[in-house]
Every structure is written in structure tokens, then in C-alpha cells.
Amino acid sequence: MTDSTAQTRPWPAPTAPGAVDATVLVPGSKSVTNRALVLAALSAEPGWLRRPLRSRDTVLMADALRAMGVQIDETVNPGGGEAWRIIPAGLHGPATVDVGNAGTVMRFLPPVASLADGPVRFQGDARSYERPLHGVIDALRALGARVEDEGRGSLPMTVHGAGSLSGGAVDVDASSSSQFVSALLLSGPRFNKGLELRHTGDSLPSVPHIRMTVDMLRKAGAKVDAPEDGGSAGVWRVAAGALLGRDLTVEPDLSNAAPFLAAALVTGGRVTVPAWPRVTAQPGDALREIFTRMGGSCELTDHGLTFAGSGRLRPLVMDLGDVGELTPVIAAVAALADGESKLTGIAHLRLHETDRLAALAAELNGLGGDVRETGDGLVIRPRPLHGGVFHTYDDHRLATAAAVIGLAVPGVRVENIATTAKTLPDFADLWTGMLARPGALPGSAGAGHGRG
Ligand SMILES: O=C(O)C1=C[C@@H](OP(=O)(O)O)[C@@H](O)[C@H](O)C1
Ligand SMILES: C=C(OP(=O)(O)O)C(=O)O
């Protein structure tokens, strides 16, 4: 078991010196980087990944693929950033994979391991042993793989790769994580009979992430049929066939743009995120609508997205089931808003890096907030907040949510800010850099939400 997120002294979250006015270069998308690595590893020819995200989750993915025999060379991109050359090879066991606490690694790689020619052992952080994996394990067994999981339907486990997998039809209940579906689809082209996956659960979270999987599979040459509506019911079909090597430039991580856009909203300022894609499968694109509903406005141009706050923070009543990973930052903004917010459709967040519903309620209430857990979400009422330690439970998005609160509330100290390394190792520097360039926008709320 490993945990590379070093414990550090609580980080004093800076209060906003005024309305922020900054351009923030947000690093690449975790979800795109890790899908691209898997697809490149399964391809029939080498590929390039330009401006990949380098973070704990993506390094774990790359190292795991290397452990199975894939060559990944890290070079410099002529246009800036890194370029990773991925040279697929026969997948080998025995190998050991450290998943850390990365849902993408622990779910996407067992199907890949079933194609290896020997046993692949999966282990990770303590939390990874609690996160659901049964959808992947049961499906792999139904498709012909041998998996030893100590009978728990979770990690630690060993996938006994036999060099190939029969594949075919399988039922999956992915109501606890969309990643079960994405995991099986990604390896589907390499199964002898391809894959026909029927979703049997009552609900399906994070559907945009499944669309991202389908989109990237198609761009790699796979033949995929997907349900039109993308709702909870549906059948996905992936034809057996070779995948093409791609030359892919990774988009900025729009979910990791959330705290920076929130800074514009909370301070009545303005933040530009360059290279915001005009068309994207990333769920973070929904921030344009969500934060506009919460009081801001935005403009998407060839230079990127500029988001401006108005000085007013409106509450949000919304089903966030499609965009669950945005919840912590949205909840932080909601705690500073001028009315009651109701966030629904996110029961599955109890199974994320930590139980995010319990953690957000405990930590916001610990600062004087009024947050109540419901069966599938949170009710957040405005209350004056005060400073204190915000615990982060080794959850990167709890840490960034705490930083947003700290803009408006003096004295917030964030436990283990280093946990942001899961997807955004540069977070603290980007955050202080953003605040070092305050604009002088007249009439802005500035740090006026401070209620300490
Ligand atoms: O496939 C992906 O890249 C992801 C899917 C979602 O998982 P869940 O469906 O488990 O919420 C999301 O929350 C996670 O951050 C990334
Ligand atoms: C839920 C998340 O991550 P994971 O890929 O570990 O599921 C997340 O990043 O918000």
C-alpha cells in the first residue's frame, strides 16, 4: 500500500486582496490523459500524447502500463509542455500495479490486464480498497477472465491474464461509478468477440465521461454503437478490431478550472482560461452554465474562456449527477451565496476519494456553515463563516474547495494541500499566482463575502 501525498502543515488559504483579474493556464485533463494512455497502449501502432497531465493519477497510469510492457518515452513538445511517445507491445505479467487512489487506474486497467500473458496484481492506497470495483470484476469473469479478489469485489486483487479474452455480451450495474462502463469499453476492441455491454442499474452517474470514452474510442478507429440519449438505460456495442495510434493534444482539465472560475465569481473579478475547447466531452464545460446561473457571465473566444463575476452569488438548485466531480467547488461557492442551494443526483460521491457528501458537510459546518446531507446530495444554506482548519481527507477536490472558501473567509487553513497532486500538482502556485495580479475592477465584491 502506498500514499505519495505527503502530509504537510496546514496551508493558510489566501484571502482575495480584491477582485481577481488573471489568466490561468490550467494543465491537461486527467480523464483525457488516462484514457489516451490506455488506448495508445492497446493500439496496433505507436502514438503521441502532447501536453499530457503530469500528476499522481496519470503517472500511476503510465507506470502501470510500463509494468505490463508498454514503452512510454517522455520528451519535450516543440510547442511547449511535454510529449509522451507511447509504443505498444505485448502485454506481460507477472506485474504489479499501484492504483494509488485513482478511479481511472483501478477501473480501466483490470480489463487491460486480462489481455496480458500472466498475473497482474492490483494494490493501492487504503481508500482504494473501499471503492467499488465489483462491476469490473464481475463483468471480466462473465467475459472469460480469471480474477482473484479475496471475495470482496474490490482491491486488492489479481487478474490472471491469459493473453486474450473471449468478450461478448455482459450486464453491468454502473450506478456506483460510470468508470465500470468506460473501463470495459476501452478494452472492448481487443476482446476476441468485442463487447456488448447492457447497463442494468437504476441510475448512471457521470454520463459525459462515458461519452468521452466513446468519442476517444471512435477517434482511435474503434467501431462503437452507443445509446442515443446517454441516459441510465442502454446498450453499448464495441466491435473487435485494431486501434490506431494517434497524435493527440490534451485539452486543459476543465474540472480543475473550477476553483479558478469560482475565484472570479466569489471576488467579482475575471479569470481567463486559455485553450478552453469550443467542443469537448469534458463535464467541466458545464461550469459555463452552472457559474452563470450562480451570478457570473462568460465569453468563449479563440483565446479561451473568460469568466466574470458580478459581485453577487446566487444559490444553485441542480441535479449534478452528470458532473459529480464539480460538486466540492460548487458547494464551496454555494456556502457563500445569498440563498439556499440544493445539489442532487450525487449519492455516488460517497464512494469517491472520500465520502464527499459527509466531508463537505463536516468541513463547511466546521467553519460555521449550515450544510445538510440528503439521500442523494446536499442542502446548503448561507451562514456567516469563520476561519479554522479545513480537513481534506486525501481528496484533491476538498482541498481546492477549501481554497475557494478561503478567498472570502479569513483564517481558513487547508490540511494537506499537497493532496492536490492527484490531478493538479501546481495548484498552490497557480492559486497564489492568480491572486498576485489583482485587478482594480470597480464595484466588485472583493473579499466582501468574508463573514469572519
Ligand atoms: O471516467 C472518468 O474519467 C471519471 C468518471 C467519474 O467517475 P464516477 O462515475 O465514479 O463519478 C468522475 O467522477 C471521475 O473524476 C473521472
Ligand atoms: C472522482 C474523482 O476521481 P477518480 O478518477 O479517482 O474517480 C475525481 O477526480 O473527482
Per-residue cell: 162: 491469459
> Which atom of ligand 1 has the smallest separation from the CA of 30?
3
- Measured CA to CA, the distance from residue 217 to residue 237 in angstroms comes to 12
- Which pLDDT tens digit goes with each residue over 378-437? 999 999 999 999 999 999 999 999 999 999 999 999 999 999 999 999 999 999 999 996
pLDDT at 386: 98
From residue 172, give the alpha-carbon distance in Å to each of 41, 98, 190, 224, 374: 24, 25, 19, 17, 27
Taking alpha carbons only, the member of 146, 84, 86, 85 closest to residue 110 is 146
Of the listed 251, 325, 353, 363, which one is catalytic?
Answer: 325
| CATH topology identical between 11-27+253-435 and 30-240 | yes
CA gap 59, 47 in Å, rounded? 17
CB-based contacts of 76: which residues, under 8 Å, 6+ apart?
82, 83
Counting Cβ atoms within 10 Å, is residue 16 exposed (0-12), middle (13-18) or buried (19+)?
buried
Judge if the upstream peptide bond of residue 88 is cis by omega within 30 degrees of 0.
Answer: no
Q: What is the CATH number of domain 11-27+253-435?
A: 3.65.10.10
Query: What's the rounded Cα separation, in Å, for the pair 336 and 367?
Result: 12
The confidence score (pLDDT) of residue 229 equals 65
Cell numbers at residue 95, please? 506485474
| Alpha-carbon gap, residue 417 to 6, rounded angstroms | 9
Joined grid coordinates for residue 17: 486582496
CATH of domain 30-240: 3.65.10.10
Q: Is 325 a residue of the active site? A: yes
Ligand 1 atom with minimal separation from the 351 CA: 10
The reported pLDDT for the residue numbered 231 is 62
Element (H, E) at 86: strand 82-87
- Look at the alpha carbons of 375, 380, 383, 386 in this order and tell me if their dihedral is positive or negative: positive
The overall average pLDDT reported for the chain is 94
Please tell me if the CB atom of residue 135 comes closer than 6 angstroms to any atom of ligand 1: no
Write down the pLDDT at residue 440.
Answer: 39
Residue nearest to atom 1 of ligand 2 (CA): 352
> CB neighbours of 206 closer than 8 A, spacing ≥ 6?
177, 178, 179, 283, 321, 322, 323, 324, 325, 348
Global confidence as pTM: 0.95
ipTM: 0.99
Q: Is 178 in the pocket of ligand 1 (CB under 6 A)?
A: yes
Q: Is the CB of 123 under 6 A from ligand 1?
A: no
109 near 99, Cβ under 8 Å?
Answer: yes
Mapped onto helix, strand or coil, the DSSP state of residue 164 is coil
- In one letter, which amino acid is 29? S
Annotated binding site for 3-phosphoshikimate: 30-31, 35, 177-179, 206, 325, 352
Copy the grid coordinates of residue 37.
Answer: 494512455
Q: Would you say residue 334 has pLDDT above 80?
A: yes
Q: Residue 132 pLDDT more than 70?
A: yes
The CA distance from 307 to 21, in Å, is: 10
Query: Which grid coordinates belong to 98?
Result: 499501484
Binding residues for phosphoenolpyruvate: 30, 103, 131, 179, 356, 397, 422
Looking at residue 79, its pLDDT comes to 84
- Write out the DSSP string of 13-38: PPPPSSSBEEE--PPBPHHHHHHHHH
Read off the pLDDT of each residue in 100-121 and give the average, rounded to a whole number.
Answer: 98
End-to-end CA distance of the chain: 40
pLDDT, tens only, 265-310: 999 999 999 999 999 999 999 999 999 999 999 999 998 999 999 9
Q: How far apart are CA 46 and CA 179, in angstroms?
A: 25
pLDDT tens digits for range 45-91: 999 999 999 999 999 999 999 999 999 999 999 888 999 999 999 99
Q: Closest Cα to residue 381, out of 430, 422, 338, 317?
A: 338
Query: Is the pLDDT score of 163 beyond 70?
Result: yes
Report domain extents, the chain.
11-27+253-435, 30-240
Please give the distance, rounded to the nearest whole angstrom, from the Cα atom of residue 368 to the centre of ligand 1. Answer: 30
The closest-lying atom of ligand 1 relative to the alpha carbon of residue 205 is 9
Which position has the higher pLDDT, 116 or 77?
116
Per the structure block, which three cell numbers stand in for 185?
A: 469499453
Tell the residue nearest (CA) to atom 9 of ligand 2.
Answer: 325
Sheet with 370-374, strands from edge to edge, namely 317-319, 341-344, 377-381, 370-374
Residues 6+ apart with CB under 8 A from 23: 271, 272, 273, 274, 304
What's residue 447's pLDDT? Answer: 35
pLDDT at 5 over 80: no
Q: Are strands 47-50 and 247-249 parallel, antiparallel or unpaired?
A: parallel
Q: Whose CA is nearest to atom 7 of ligand 2?
A: 103
- For residues 291 and 307, the answer to whether their CB atoms sit within 8 Å is yes
